[in-house]
Amino acid sequence: MNEEEHRALRELLGAYVLEQLDADGVDTVRAHLAGCEACRAEVADLLPVAAALHELEPADLDREAPPADLGDQVLQTVRRRRRAAARRSRWRRAGGGVLVAASLAVAFGVGSWFTGPRTDPPVIAVALNVDQPGLTADAGLVRHTWGTELKLEARGLAAGGSYAVTFVRADGERVSAGSFLGTGADPVRCSVNAALPVDQARELMITDASGALVMDARLG
């Protein structure tokens, strides 16, 4: 079959899915579909459109005649989308190799990090100022490449009360390190983090839900 004959058969696909071909036309298209994967895929794309058209009420169709070239428009749209999908598929296949290679590289790097020798970073003691009666607390800072970790253990914070941790830079800018809940007489042990290098932190503030200062410390 030459290209012209193939194009002529493809133009019958819309009528085929809409059941508008006579018996000879149906047999011709079916014989072609048996050996043409591209046209089978195009029919698969057209079938949902045909199903939707079959749901229309005849009275609605009588209100306004469809354009004479509607079938051609539908086929052209489907073909454009299929070409775009084929291009995207080629890009995905090409990019997939890159992603697999990157994943292997990351997996190797992470595996090496976990299996290699590791030591826990030291904890820098912090002298907390605590004014609230019955409240005791100990704290320490841990230097990380991504910022600062605060390790805190405290007793006497209101059970269920929310407490916010804030670091202050030398220029006065405040950096939140999250929050935690008090546990009353039971010790609360928590670890919160801030995206701020230890060397840039000048003050640590812990405040209650009303914003009142509960604990603080001068740093650096």
User: Do 9 and 92 reside in the same domain of the chain?
Assistant: yes
User: Do 73 and 168 reside in the same domain of the chain?
Assistant: no
* Confidence check: pLDDT of 64 > 80: no
Per the CB < 8 A criterion, the answer to whether 80 and 74 are in contact is no
Distance CA 135, CA 138 (A): 10
| pLDDT the model gives residue 2 | 85
* Confidence check: pLDDT of 220 > 50: yes
DSSP state of 184: B
How many structural domains comprise the chain?
2
169 found inside a domain: yes
Distance CA 127, CA 154 (A): 13
117 found inside a domain: no
Highest mean pLDDT among 27-31, 49-53, 65-69, 78-82: 27-31
User: Do 36 and 134 reside in the same domain of the chain?
Assistant: no
Q: What is the pLDDT of residues 90-113, one digit of tens each?
A: 555 545 444 443 443 434 444 443
- Give the domain-ending residue among 112, 134, 165: 112
User: Do 51 and 130 reside in the same domain of the chain?
Assistant: no
38 found inside a domain: yes
Distances (CA, A) of 154 to 100, 124, 130: 47, 17, 10
118 found inside a domain: no
Residue 160 domain boundaries: 123-218
User: Do 162 and 191 reside in the same domain of the chain?
Assistant: yes
User: Do 97 and 132 reside in the same domain of the chain?
Assistant: no
- Whether the model pTM is above 0.75: no
Distances (CA, A) of 109 to 27, 98, 115: 60, 16, 10
| pLDDT the model gives residue 216 | 95
162 found inside a domain: yes
Distance CA 193, CA 141 (A): 10
206 found inside a domain: yes
Q: What is the pLDDT of residues 121-169, one digit of tens each?
A: 889 999 999 978 899 999 999 988 788 999 999 999 999 999 999 999 9
Distance CA 162, CA 141 (A): 21
CATH number for position 153: 2.60.40.200
10 found inside a domain: yes
Average pLDDT of the residues in 170-179 = 92
User: Do 105 and 127 reside in the same domain of the chain?
Assistant: no
User: Do 150 and 94 reside in the same domain of the chain?
Assistant: no
- Give the domain-ending residue among 112, 141, 157: 112
User: Do 190 and 147 reside in the same domain of the chain?
Assistant: yes
- Give the domain-ending residue among 90, 112, 134: 112
User: Do 18 and 101 reside in the same domain of the chain?
Assistant: yes
* Confidence check: pLDDT of 207 > 90: yes
Residue 104 identity: L
User: In the beta sheet, which residues pair with residue 167?
Assistant: 175, 204
User: Do 41 and 91 reside in the same domain of the chain?
Assistant: yes
User: Do 160 and 211 reside in the same domain of the chain?
Assistant: yes
| Per-residue 3-state assignment (H helix, E strand, C coil) for 9-62 | HHCCHHHHHCCCCCHHHHHHHHHHHCCCHHHHHHHHHHHHHHHHHHCCCHHHHH
Tokens of 14: 């819309």
18 found inside a domain: yes
Q: What is the pLDDT of residues 5-22, one digit of tens each?
A: 888 888 888 888 777 888
Give 47's pLDDT tier (boundaries 50, 70, 90): confident
